[in-house]
């Protein structure tokens, strides 16, 4: 947990760094900085489009905002939104400078810290991308699942099921009903051919666990308030209808809310967890490697 929190903390610091650079970078007129570049001097000759006290937003400053616009209307809209954002930002700077006292030395130190944190973050990201193994084996997934099985709890019903939606006017309805009740491979093959040719909609991936709500969306079952009772009654075949269609469901297996899902259902989630752990380990190993090398070369001292 501490490892994860440390990475989150770093990301928060990076986001704050961007925020401060943007805010302070636009605050040059407030006395924080006095050096002007040639670009600043050139832009000062551009017409002003907004100002807060003696700080001006110039028309030339909007070029980078509007250059990606595809129409004149989009360009105007983007420019107007940017001007509003710029004014609000500088009003907040003005308000904050009046309410909060921050020394330039303290501010410079924080900006330097955030700059270095950003540099380290970018280096770590590049190192991880180059060295990260993103392949996760079935054995790794199974091992993690068994070690952490109680951390996986369903928030909704999942099923392995077949589903076919048939127009009531079709004679193939009886065939669909019959084939769904059979389990042999020839019946499965015949059912798939029937679905492809005649069904208005179907789902026949019965080896895959899916959310029950996804299967019954846009069917009369979506309005059923007793879904648990429907599944636990012991009859795998469910048939419902509306004015135009028959809906056939064959539920082969189900897991209810608050139960532990099968490993197949959480395979992708576990793979992401394992890869993220590898990222954390790579970052730590990089830090340790840099530290050990620097220690061996006497590049630092720790004073008592």
Identify the CATH number of the domain in which residue 209 sits: 3.10.50.40
Q: Note whether 12 and 97 are same-domain residues.
A: yes
Q: For the purposes of burial, counting CB atoms within 10 Å of the CB of 18, is it exposed (0-12), middle (13-18) or buried (19 or more)? A: exposed
In a domain, 161, yes or no: yes
CB 224 within 8 A of CB 147: no
- Number of domains the chain contains: 3
End-to-end CA distance of the chain: 31
Q: Note whether 168 and 212 are same-domain residues.
A: yes
User: What values do phi and psi take at 255, rounded to 5?
Assistant: -130, 130
In a domain, 7, yes or no: yes
In a domain, 124, yes or no: no
Q: Note whether 16 and 97 are same-domain residues.
A: yes
Domain region containing 138: 132-152+266-304
Q: Note whether 212 and 226 are same-domain residues.
A: yes
In a domain, 60, yes or no: yes
**Cα(248)–Cα(273) distance, integer angstroms:** 37
Q: Note whether 284 and 148 are same-domain residues.
A: yes
Q: Note whether 244 and 165 are same-domain residues.
A: yes
Q: Note whether 79 and 186 are same-domain residues.
A: no
Q: Note whether 142 and 276 are same-domain residues.
A: yes
In a domain, 125, yes or no: no
pLDDT tens by residue, the chain, 304 residues? 434 444 444 444 444 444 444 444 443 334 333 334 444 545 567 888 899 998 898 888 887 777 666 677 777 888 888 899 889 999 998 898 888 887 888 888 999 999 999 999 999 999 999 999 999 999 999 999 999 999 999 999 999 999 999 999 999 999 999 999 998 999 999 999 999 999 999 999 989 999 999 999 999 999 998 999 989 988 889 999 999 999 999 999 999 999 999 999 999 999 999 999 999 999 999 999 999 999 999 999 989 8
In a domain, 57, yes or no: yes
In a domain, 52, yes or no: yes
In a domain, 260, yes or no: no
User: What values do phi and psi take at 23, rounded to 5?
Assistant: -65, -50
Largest Cα–Cα separation, the chain: 90
Q: Note whether 272 and 246 are same-domain residues.
A: no
From 62, 93, 117, the end of a domain falls on 117
Q: Note whether 287 and 241 are same-domain residues.
A: no
């Amino acid at each position: 947990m501490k490892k994860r929190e440390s990475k989150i903390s770093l990301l928060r610091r990076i986001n704050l760094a961007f925020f401060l650079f943007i805010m302070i970078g636009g605050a040059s007129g407030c006395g924080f900085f006095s050096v002007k570049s040639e670009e600043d001097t050139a832009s000062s000759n551009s017409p002003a489009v907004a100002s807060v006290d003696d700080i001006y937003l110039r028309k030339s400053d909007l070029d980078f905002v509007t250059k990606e616009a595809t129409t004149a209307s989009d360009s105007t809209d983007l420019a107007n939104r940017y001007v509003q954002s710029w004014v609000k930002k500088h009003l907040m700077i003005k308000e904050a400078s009046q309410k909060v006292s921050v020394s330039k030395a303290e501010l410079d130190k924080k900006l330097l810290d955030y700059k270095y944190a950003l540099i380290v973050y970018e280096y770590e990201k590049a190192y991880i991308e180059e060295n990260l193994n993103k392949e996760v084996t079935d054995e790794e997934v199974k091992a993690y699942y068994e070690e952490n099985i109680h951390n996986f709890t369903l928030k909704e019903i999942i099923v392995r099921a077949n589903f076919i939606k048939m127009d009531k006017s079709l004679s193939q309805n009886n065939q669909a009903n019959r084939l769904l009740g059979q389990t042999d491979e020839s019946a499965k093959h015949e059912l798939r051919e029937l679905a492809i040719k005649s069904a208005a909609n179907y789902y026949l991936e019965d080896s895959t666990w899916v959310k029950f709500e996804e299967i019954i969306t846009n069917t009369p079952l979506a309005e059923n308030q007793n879904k648990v009772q429907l599944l636990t009654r012991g009859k795998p075949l469910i048939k419902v209808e509306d004015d135009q269609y028959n809906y056939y469901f064959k539920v082969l297996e189900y897991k209810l809310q608050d139960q532990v899902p099968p490993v197949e259902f959480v395979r992708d989630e576990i793979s992401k967890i394992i890869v993220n752990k590898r990222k954390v380990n790579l970052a730590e190993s990089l830090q340790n490697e840099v530290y050990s090398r620097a220690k061996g070369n006497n590049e630092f001292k720790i004073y008592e």
